[in-house]
Amino acid sequence: MTSQDMSAEFYRNHASQYATVAHEFRQSVYVRSSHPSLRNDWDALEHLTQLAPGKHGLDAGCGAGARDVFHLWSQGYDVVGIDAIEENIRVAHDLHPEIADRVFMADLRQELPFADEAFDFVMCNAVIQHIDPEIVQTLVLPELARVIRPQGVLQLMFKNGEGSLSVYDKDYGVERSFQLYDETRLLEILLQQGMTLVPAESPEGLGGLLYFADGKTVDHCLFFTRKVAGSAASLHHREVGGR
C-alpha cells in the first residue's frame, strides 16, 4: 500500500532512508540528458564550482544527510547547508559530525539568515518543487539572488513542466507529489534580480537550459545564472545595507 507524500511529512518519516538513497546515488544518475557532459549530480556540481568566483557557498535545501555539503567541504570549500526539516539536519549531523557546525535549520519560505552578497555560489537542487509558486516567485528566488555576490553563480534544478505531478517512488514505496515549474518564468524573475543565464562556452561545455530525467523518469531542468556586477539589484542591496 502507498501513502501520499506531503513533502514535509515525507522527509520527517524518511530522512534516514533519503540520506541512504542520496549517498548511494540511486536517484542521482540522469537519463535522457540534453547534454553528453551532464550525466549525474556530480557533473552539475563540478560545473558550478568551475563557474564560481570563489569557494564560499550555500546549499539551499541540503536534504537529509547534506551529501553535497560534505562533498564540497571535503574538497576544501567553505560551504554551509540549510534545510527546513529538523530530521534532515539531525541525520546530517549523525552521518557527518565533521560538518555539524555548517548544517542547520532555515526555511526558504522565510528571509534567509545571511547578509547581502555573502556567497560566491548557491545551489538549490530539487527544492522549489515542494514550495508554493507564489512564494518561490516573490521570496525564494529574490532571497537566493540577494545573498549572491556580484559575479557569483546560482545553480537551480527543478522538476519541469506545468501544474503538479504525482509519481510512484519505488525507493520509498510511496506516491509523491511535486510542483512543476516553467524555466522561462523562473529566468524572468531572476533577471529582475540581476541574474543572467550562463551560456555554454563551447559545444562540450555545460550552459544554457539543460534537461534530463531522473530515475523516476520525471523531467527536470537545470541552469546556472550569474549575478551581474553593478546590477540594479546589487546596487539596491548596497544602498539598503545588509540584513
42-93 confidence digits (pLDDT tens): 999 999 999 999 999 999 999 999 999 999 999 999 999 999 999 999 999 9
Q: State the CATH architecture for 8-240.
A: 3-Layer(aba) Sandwich (3.40)
Q: Give the H/E segment covering residue 179.
A: strand 174-179
Instruction: Note the pTM of the prediction, 2 decimals.
Output: 0.91
pLDDT of residue 197: 98
In the three-class reduction of DSSP (H, G, I as helix; E, B as strand; rest coil), residue 16 is classed as helix
**pLDDT per residue as tens, the chain (243 positions):** 344 445 788 999 999 999 999 999 999 999 999 999 999 999 999 999 999 999 999 999 999 999 999 999 999 999 999 999 999 999 999 999 999 999 999 999 999 999 999 999 999 999 999 999 999 999 999 999 999 999 999 999 999 999 999 999 999 999 999 999 999 999 999 999 999 999 998 777 899 999 999 988 899 999 999 999 765 454 444 444 444
Proportion of the chain above pLDDT 70, given as a percent = 92
The grid cell for 164 is: 503538479
> What is the C-alpha to C-alpha distance for residues 123 and 48, in angstroms, rounded to an integer?
8
Dump the DSSP string for 137-188: IIIIHHHHHHTEEEEEEEEEEEEBSSSEEEEEETTTTEEEEEE-B-HHHHHH
pLDDT of residue 230: 66
